[in-house]
A and B are shown apart, each in its own frame.
Chain A
Amino acid sequence: MKILVTAKRVEDPESKIKVKPDGSGIVQEGLKYKVNPFDAIAVEEGLRLVSKHQGEVVVVSIGGKEVQEQLRHALAMGAHRAIWVNHAAPLDQMGVAGLLQKIAEKEKPDLIIVGKQSIDDDQNQVGQYLAEWLGWAQATFASKVESFESEQEKNKVPALVVSPDGKRVRVVREVDGGLSVLDCQLPAVITTDLRLNDPRYATLPGIMKAKSKPLEEVTPASLGVDVTPRLQILKMSAPPARKAGIIVPDVATLVDKLKNEAKVL
């Protein structure tokens, strides 16, 4: 199987995000960057599928040259080769999906696995745009029934189940009120939810090997995609702060406050 995955460069989810005073963006100083956590899950699932069914995992990232760090991380996890779309300017979800569409048309993967959303934009759109434009099956929010403590997870069994003839994939999706199970014809686009798997760390030998793995550079122009943003961010601001609360000494005081002050009982 050939599996295309993404590794977007995002701020470390544990870092404190502050808005610049003029509202033009966020304060970059002191931030650390990582592979978008949902994309790391996509890379992991790709690796598990390929270890079961053979094939290769191709990882894509879009951005300035700094995104090569994220590509190398995915290669160190075990991905086979990388495609770097060199584009440092702002990009919207239509731009990203357009670039991935062209890459998919050239690479012809059996499966594209992307994070359901990136933790910076939180848009949750790219996989769905991409599936529509390619005319492929779509299964978003892929999850699994087993917990992270299960034998399956410990043995790195892929949660996505490919049929014996290699033509379809069974996906368990996390939706409101339960789980929805879909059977998609390949090629398909799948977006990952948090509990699809627990991604592996990059090992030292993996990091060493990653340095010699192929990394191809392309650009929006070489792919023939107009990436002019059709979503413009005009202004950013901090959310309204909640007013500071109080620490109550005991249960009796708490119940009294809830009943007589907050009036929620």
Chain B
Amino acid sequence: MAVVLIVAEQQPDGNLRRATLHALSAGKQLADKSGAELHAVVLAKETSKLAEELKSSGPKVIHAASSGAFEHYLAEVFAPVIADLARSLGAEYVGAASTAMGKDLMPRVAARLKAAMASDVMSFQGSGSEIHFVRPMWAGNVIAEVKLTTPVKVFTARPTEFARSTGGGSAEVKAFEPKLTTSTPTQFIEFKEVKSARPQLTEAKVVVSGGRGTKGDFKEIEALADELGGAVGASRAVCDAGWVPNDLQVGQTGKVVAPQLYIAVGISGAIQHIAGMKGSKTIVAINNNPEAPIFQVADYGLVGDLFKVLPELRTAIHAAKR
């Protein structure tokens, strides 16, 4: 039986990255459409806890390899192991979530397998051997349907486009001994975590983002995010100015988010920002310029001075929640 192989991802803190569950749900859709079986692969220093968590998330088989070589992710170490496994399984599709790791790793896997690849896949069309991938181009201004003609096909799935896999079932866990690359030209030095008490941007139910209109003062943005139990985001302009850390950037070139509620504050709404948040369920825009393009994608727009509106809004939301 044909196989769809999904690569699971471990976070630096040792936990399974939630985006993996979204990638598994993409893998399940693809397996159902193409008449294949869903498998997952997990590489880590110690895989048992991760494999346990993946067991009930949809895959039929989990291939797990534990080794000290996998303690810190490196494309040059992971890619050959995944490509070898894909070959031995005769996998037709190999995929992962389009996280930083997925984007770094999967093209290298594809290169080893001489496979073509579709990035940031949003859905699958067709059935059987005729599967097409639907993916964004030009910062989401164009949606393209593409076909890969190589025997093996590689993809990354955009986590916000696939519901988190609840899967069910209980996968069989198969431990395997990978052939490891003995020396790689790259060494891992360190991971500098950007710590935050707030939820992760890509996984939060509420995101409050600030733009140039904040003039770099994010106190009220943060207070509103905390009132809503949400994450803080930012436009590219404020990240470039060094007002907030780079990893808060929402946009095609930053993080793509799709929360229940997205509040854009003092953000004019450049095309590339909108591409990163237009999948949100409800969008609120607060801006003092009534002509700002952000109002064209907002469900609710409020024209006003953000420094007056935000404290008022926070108080009103606090009262409304009671």
Contact = CB atoms under 8 A, between A and B. Distances in A.
A183 B149 CA distance: 36
B118 to A, nearest CB: 7
Contacts of B187: 182-184
Contacts of A125: 107, 110, 117, 119
A242 interface: yes
B186 A182 contact: yes
B146 A140 contact: no
A246 B301 contact: yes
Q: Identify the interface centre among B186, B194, B295: most chain A CB within 10 Å of its CB.
A: B186
Contact of A94 (B116, B138, B145): B116
Interface in A118-147: 119-129, 131-133, 136-141, 143, 147
A136 B103 CA distance: 18
Given A231-B148, A239-B143, A247-B301, A122 B189 contact: no
A237 B143 contact: yes
A221 interface: no
A19 B185 CA distance: 43
B241 A148 contact: yes
B161 to A, nearest CB: 12
A218 interface: no
Interface string B95-118: 000011101111110111000111
Interface string A228-265: 00111111111100101111101110110111001011
A176 B119 contact: no
B35 interface: no
Contacts of A102: none
Given A137-B185, A141-B104, A245-B295, A255 B320 contact: yes
A236 B191 contact: no
B108 A132 contact: yes
B305 to A, nearest CB: 12
B86 interface: no
Nearest to A18: B141
Chain A facing B: main interface SS? mixed
B315 to A, nearest CB: 9
A69 interface: no
A237 B135 CA distance: 11
A93 interface: yes
Interface string B32-48: 00000000000000000
Contacts of A120: 137-138
A80 interface: no
Interface of A: 11, 13-14, 16-17, 19, 26, 92-94, 97, 119-129, 131-133, 136-141, 143, 147-150, 170, 173-185, 188, 194-195, 198, 230-239, 242, 244-248, 250-252, 254-255, 257-259, 262, 264-265
Given A127-B107, A237-B143, 4 more contacts: A176-B202, A180-B190, A251-B313, A265-B321
Interface of B: 11-12, 17, 74-76, 79, 99-101, 103-108, 110-112, 116-120, 132, 136-150, 184-194, 200, 202, 206, 236, 239-242, 246-247, 252-253, 260-261, 271-272, 278, 281-284, 290, 295-303, 309, 312-313, 316-317, 320-321
